[in-house]
A and B are shown apart, each in its own frame.
Chain A
Amino acid sequence: MSKHLLEVKDLYVSFDTYAGEVQAVRGVDFTLDGGETLAIVGESGCGKSVTVQTIMKLNPEPPSRIKGGSILYRGEELINKTNREMQAYRGKEFSMIFQDSMTSLNPTMRVGRQISEAILKHRKMDRKEAKKLAVEMLAKVGLPNPDKCYRQYPHTLSGGMRQRVMIAMALSCEPAILLADEPTTALDVTTQAQILELMKEIKERTGTSIILITHNLGVVSRMADRIAIMYAGKIVERGLPDDIFYRPKHPYTWGLLGSMPDMSLRTDRKLTSIPGTPPDLFAPPEGCAFASRCPYCMHVCLKHEPPVFDMSEEHQSACWLIDSRAEMVVPPLGEDKTLRVKGRGGHVV
């Protein structure tokens, strides 16, 4: 029996396309506890969406294929569950908010019915009660005039309102885990803040755990209890927000932080970009996937995949720079200017 609510271990997911196998997820590990928010951050195509959709087994098979690993939910293995068995988990235990609320709501069905059908499926309620709860949920997510909204079609609502509907729908069955796949990317900046605020508020009120997927580190700083940085199908660094923002160890994390505007007084800092493009997952490179774009690339990086180094209980990073044999490097960012944690370095996990 695992002590975690959700435990993903060594997950491998591939897509079989006509051009060959795309290794979208290549050995991802993470855990999630009750009431916690985990943020998964990475560029587009790094496998973050695939990872969470695999938890709910929403990727169509074929073309997708879970090659290995395990997904334990309250100690129960989900990998071998059939589609029918998963239906009991979807919506009830996990629910999901998608990026584009315009295309994620059925255009020909009234908003209210889309919410109440999930309630009818998972809760012992009749139509009337389900409707009442749905209206309540619409009110809870801050929609003015929930009764009217219940009868509306999705296209008559604004983007922010639709995303609220999505959240109401996702939360209507009181799921243990909310998977939010870039919930604010398609929204205006002002609406983004509102939606994030709403999610934060709901988390505090209901104790739902959240896995938040984003490519925006700014979003993460407000929400996350823990952060995982994903690159080319792997988690390259993970830690508490303080670890990631102030003591980042992986050059990719430095790159991400460097490309993020900073509202503090350090106006002299220039925004930097990460050169190059992510590797093609048809043929992942032999060594570190980030090597070809890394300003600190060493010979070893091209030959061997870096092991995961423990910085602390919560903070891990997979980079050869941390190895004791590597030269000392001063990170360009963060407050902690020493890269290597003395006494721990070189410890291969």
Chain B
Amino acid sequence: MGFIIDATLIAFLALIAISALRRKRLFGMVMLSGAFSLVAATLFLVLDAVDVAFTEAAVGAGISTVLALATLSLVPAEEKPHSIAIVPAFLALTTGLLLSIAVSDLPEFGAADAPIHNHVAPEFIIGSEEKIGVPNVVTSVLASYRGYDTLGETVVVFTAAIAVLLIIGGWTRRETETAESTEDDHAG
């Protein structure tokens, strides 16, 4: 049963991705990328990664789609026609092939003796209860054990926002007001 659900979801993902690639109109592409994120969130949920699924649904399917839609009103409605770039296509296909080959070397999904479950993970799972007292291990790792990383992530978000605001101007209000008053002057 689990296999059927996984396979269906992955088939959906592939279908949505191919469909988005073949589309000409950008609006359809944006909506499909939102749908892709939603299906990916479901897949994470099936894999028991609830926090990741939550983030994917809120950020990927929600806010990213809205921001992409807001961008759409600034750009033409259709993609520019272009031919297939051979070198990037070759690079992408080769990397994909190599990765698929490498997957066979991975330990079985959920195997208890996999290296990832025997390094620091047991300490986090036991210590989270004893030393931090937080039932959600993801939160205790994110905010306490790996506090530096989360601080770094927050600073990345901060920097990205400052950069975007500097480029496309979060301070258009004054300019808009000047433009409005010029228009009023003309009208008057």
User: Do the two shown chains form a genuine complex with each other?
Assistant: no
